[in-house]
Amino acid sequence: MKQSRLASTTISATALALAFATAQAATSVEERVRGLVHKMTLAEKIGQMTQAERQHATPEDVKTYYLGAILNGGGSIPKENRRSDWVEMIRDYQAAAGGTRLGIPILYGADAVHGHNNVLGATIFPHNVALGATRNPQLARAIAAATAREVAATGIHWTFAPTLCVARDDRWGRAYECFGEDPELVSAFAGPFIRGLQGERLDGNNLAADKVLATAKHWVADGGTTYGTGDEGYAIDRGDTRLGADSLRAVHIAPYLPALKADVGSVMVSYSSVNGTKMHEHKALVTGTLKRELGFAGITLSDWSALGEIPAETNRARIVRAVNAGLDMVMEPEKWRDFITDLTAAVEAGEVSMARIDEAVTRILTTKFRAGLFEWPLPPLATAPDADHLIGHPAHRDLARQAVRESLVLLKNAGGLLPLDKKAKIFVAGDHADNIGLQSGGWTIEWQGKRGSITRGTTILDGIRALAEREVTYSPTGEGAAGHDVALIVVGEEPYAEGMGDYRPLPCSKCQPITLAKSQREMLARVQVSGVPMAVVILSGRPLMIAEDIGSWQAAVAAWLPGSEGAGVADVLFGEQAPSGKLPVTWPKSLAQLPINTGDAKYDPLFPYGFGLTYGAPSSIR
Ligand code: GLC
């Protein structure tokens, strides 16, 4: 008991009582953990360090191998993807865990990165790049809290969010998962987002409320990799960040300071490398900086099968390097039995110390206790009578729609073409105008996302039709514009996630050109010859190369990846709310300028970081 600390401080009776209760609680967690670790066998300890994927591990496996955690990959869903199917699955895993000798409950984790994007009918919020454009961290906190409610209602304890990457090169397929290119902007969102998910701190009751464990990812400098150094065949994803220590701290470590201050429960290590060393074996940055210097006391988690990318001769050698570097829990979706076998052999051979194993298990158990998992192996929201109603709750959809409104960046508005007149004869063109899958992007129902009516929500065209006072003409290909007062053309990217979204020079079948597709340019030309003034809305995870095109557009709006509430775009187009978004990333003139970021010595973009017009103000710089 820390009597000396209490005795030597002159504090009020209330504060003393609070300090005593907190110390008592802290001691009880420390004691409970120490007591458990002391009892645990090596098999039980290594089981806790193992996270398997739901398709490759049954509840019986949880029992037999004492597994500490389960996850689902993007698109891996139970049964009919109903809320009750998720709850039933997690209940079965927990029942198995509860049947082990020590009854340590599992943590179930999933990527709920822009809402509970795994579940049909869940609210899909704008991706992080759009939230960065709002410059509204408190809105992001509310979004995280709504996401936590929908996640907890499915019985899940843990989301692998927020991504705290600093997007330094638009050619990276994960740029849209970052709040922006500037570390101060990303840092401003880190704490509020984590508190929205977890609550103020991990206090033993988080899972009892409507909160979930958060994950700051991917440690570190995942957004700073050099183009052409990509791993696993990617052009830049999982590549090598080449920076001096000061720049590494100033740009990529900075957002983790508010994340740790917000008591984030876990940190996911990055696939990428720093100065040639894979982060998953980077002891100096994982143990030295994150754990010892910055004092992170939660769980360091590997990325999906990431140990396999460590350049070593055998699986056992890769595991030894990762665990000795400071990885506490390993996400080994399919080959988790090999992980257990090889780590066990490594410990028995003295290649990994029992002290390292005990430190990892202590962190895992402490985080489980601090989140309230032992008391609440199934979040109470999962069994609440109105739980179904929480998925895609109207209040969450309203919040998402507000985020969409605030995220739109008005790039050009010649002649004040916008806002649209509700009485005007409006022509709408483009697949992207009427497609929830396209407006949601990657990490939506499927890992890579996909076109189509993939979940419930409103498209941009739905929103336009609801606000217009005359019939709206819609043509996916842009035919029939003549005779209308205004043409609204929606263009953009196809959905993608991770390295699949890396830019590669054309021609290639699965490329992401980060320019407008040929079919979209043809559509724009078709409308242009009609002489009808054009307002173009761009749905993309990053800036597209439009310098050669924008001259013939009267208006242009960056709408990013708005998610399920596309009607929010129409709200701004009709002036229900004026545009207020500011670019969270620099908008380049051409590919040749990449990478280009605010603060660069040579900086001549199409639109600078922070740019954004509103109605009634000067209408264009292009
Ligand atoms: C993926 C991503 C990571 C995600 C994890 C689980 O490869 O890199 O962000 O949380 O695997 O899906």
Q: Which atom of ligand 1 is nearest to the CA of 74?
A: 12
Q: Rounded mean pLDDT of 142-146?
A: 98
Nearest residue to 238 (alpha-carbon basis) of 165, 331, 315, 189:
165
Does 9 have pLDDT greater than 50?
A: no
Helix (H) or strand (E) holding 342: helix 336-348
3 state SS of 383 = helix
Q: What is the pLDDT of residue 505?
A: 80
Count Cβ atoms below 10 Å from residue 289 Cβ, excluding itself.
Answer: 21
- Using CA positions, which residue lies closest to atom 12 of ligand 1? 73
Q: Which atom of ligand 1 is nearest to the CA of 163?
A: 9
The tally of CA atoms less than 13 A away on the side-chain side of residue 254 is: 18
Does 402 have pLDDT greater than 60?
A: yes
Instruction: State pLDDT tens for residues 270-309.
Output: 999 999 999 999 999 999 999 999 999 999 999 999 999 9
How far is 433 from 557, CA to CA, in rounded Å?
Answer: 13
How far is 147 from 278, CA to CA, in rounded Å?
Answer: 32
442 lines ligand 1 (CB under 6 A): no
| Mean of all residue pLDDT scores within the chain | 95
For residue 75, the CA-to-ligand 1 centroid distance in Å is: 12
Q: Would strands 215-219 and 273-274 be described as parallel, antiparallel, or unpaired?
A: unpaired
Does 27 have pLDDT greater than 70?
A: no
Say if CB 63 and CB 92 are below 8 A apart.
no
Q: What is the pLDDT of residue 513?
A: 77
Nearest residue to 173 (alpha-carbon basis) of 394, 447, 366, 489:
447
Q: Considering 493, 498, 565, 571, which one is annotated as catalytic?
A: 498
Q: Which atom of ligand 1 is nearest to the CA of 271?
A: 8
For residue 306, the CA-to-ligand 1 centroid distance in Å is: 10
* pLDDT over 90 percentage in the chain: 91
Q: What is the pLDDT of residue 15?
A: 60
Identify residue 339 by its one-letter amino acid code.
F
For residue 303, the CA-to-ligand 1 centroid distance in Å is: 6
222 lines ligand 1 (CB under 6 A): no
Please tell me what DSSP assigns to residue 456: S
Q: Considering 303, 309, 565, 571, which one is annotated as catalytic?
A: 303
ω into 385 cis (within 30 of 0): no
Say if CB 142 and CB 94 are below 8 A apart.
no
Domain ranges within the chain, ordered by starting residue: 7-348+362-389, 408-593
Confidence of residue 7 (pLDDT cuts 50, 70, 90): very low
3 state SS of 159 = strand
Q: Which residues make Cβ contacts (< 8 Å) with residue 283, sequence separation at least 6? A: 324, 325, 326
Say if CB 547 and CB 593 are below 8 A apart.
no
How far is 411 from 420, CA to CA, in rounded Å?
Answer: 16
Q: What is the pLDDT of residue 13?
A: 61
Confidence of residue 267 (pLDDT cuts 50, 70, 90): very high
- Using CA positions, which residue lies closest to atom 7 of ligand 1? 304
Identify residue 122 by its one-letter amino acid code.
A
Helices (H), 408-472: 436-440, 460-467
109 lines ligand 1 (CB under 6 A): no
Structure tokens at 470: 């005359």
Query: What per-residue string of b and e applies to 42-75 under the rule 16 or more CB within 10 Å gives b?
Result: eebbbbbbbbbbbeebebebbbebbbbbbbbbbe
Is 80 assigned a catalytic role? Answer: no
111 lines ligand 1 (CB under 6 A): yes
For a ligand 1 pocket test, name from 108, 272, 304, 448 the mutation site with the most ligand atoms within 8 angstroms of its C-beta. 304
Does 394 have pLDDT greater than 60?
A: yes
Confidence of residue 17 (pLDDT cuts 50, 70, 90): low
Structure tokens at 189: 């969102």
Q: Which atom of ligand 1 is nearest to the CA of 217?
A: 9
Q: Rounded mean pLDDT of 497-506?
A: 90
For the chain, give the longest Cα–Cα distance: 84
Q: What is the pLDDT of residue 232?
A: 83
Query: What per-residue string of b and e applies to 415-425 under the rule 16 or more CB within 10 Å gives b?
Result: eebbbbbeeee
74 lines ligand 1 (CB under 6 A): yes
Confidence of residue 1 (pLDDT cuts 50, 70, 90): very low
- Using CA positions, which residue lies closest to atom 10 of ligand 1? 160
174 lines ligand 1 (CB under 6 A): no
Q: What is the pLDDT of residue 6?
A: 38
Does 4 have pLDDT greater than 50?
A: no
How far is 262 from 200, CA to CA, in rounded Å?
Answer: 7
For residue 271, the CA-to-ligand 1 centroid distance in Å is: 9
Q: Is 354 exposed, middle or buried (0-12, 13-18, 19+ CB in 10 A)?
A: exposed
For residue 163, the CA-to-ligand 1 centroid distance in Å is: 10
- Using CA positions, which residue lies closest to atom 1 of ligand 1? 304
217 lines ligand 1 (CB under 6 A): yes
Q: Would strands 273-274 and 277-278 be described as parallel, antiparallel, or unpaired?
A: antiparallel
For a ligand 1 pocket test, name from 117, 215, 303, 330 the mutation site with the most ligand atoms within 8 angstroms of its C-beta. 303
How far is 135 from 249, CA to CA, in rounded Å?
Answer: 23
CATH (one of 3.40.50.1700, 3.60.110.10, 3.50.30.40, 3.40.50.740) for 408-593:
3.40.50.1700
Nearest residue to 496 (alpha-carbon basis) of 477, 515, 478, 510:
510
How far is 518 from 507, CA to CA, in rounded Å?
Answer: 12
For residue 534, the CA-to-ligand 1 centroid distance in Å is: 39
Does 508 have pLDDT greater than 70?
A: no
For residue 369, the CA-to-ligand 1 centroid distance in Å is: 25
Same topology, domains 7-348+362-389 and 408-593? Answer is no
611 lines ligand 1 (CB under 6 A): no
Nearest residue to 52 (alpha-carbon basis) of 79, 26, 77, 72:
72
Q: What is the CA radius of gyration of the chain?
A: 25
Instruction: State pLDDT tens for residues 458-474.
Output: 999 999 999 999 999 99
Does 3 have pLDDT greater than 50?
A: no
For residue 304, the CA-to-ligand 1 centroid distance in Å is: 6
Helix (H) or strand (E) holding 241: strand 240-241
Does 212 have pLDDT greater than 50?
A: yes
- Cα-to-chain-centroid distance, residue 617: 34
For residue 498, the CA-to-ligand 1 centroid distance in Å is: 9
Helix (H) or strand (E) holding 537: strand 534-539
How far is 327 from 359, CA to CA, in rounded Å?
Answer: 10
446 lines ligand 1 (CB under 6 A): no
For residue 272, the CA-to-ligand 1 centroid distance in Å is: 12
The CATH code of domain 7-348+362-389 reads 3.20.20.300
Q: Which atom of ligand 1 is nearest to the CA of 177?
A: 9
Helices (H), 449-605: 460-467, 518-528, 567-573
Is 421 assigned a catalytic role? Answer: no
160 lines ligand 1 (CB under 6 A): yes
Residues linked to residue 410 through DSSP beta bridges, in sequence order = 557, 613
Instruction: State pLDDT tens for residues 156-175.
Output: 999 999 999 999 999 999 99
Nearest residue to 52 (alpha-carbon basis) of 35, 39, 31, 66:
66
pTM for this structure?
Answer: 0.95
3 state SS of 111 = coil
Q: Which atom of ligand 1 is nearest to the CA of 109?
A: 6
Confidence of residue 233 (pLDDT cuts 50, 70, 90): confident
For a ligand 1 pocket test, name from 111, 234, 496 the mutation site with the most ligand atoms within 8 angstroms of its C-beta. 111
Confidence of residue 616 (pLDDT cuts 50, 70, 90): confident
73 lines ligand 1 (CB under 6 A): yes
Q: What is the pLDDT of residue 215?
A: 99
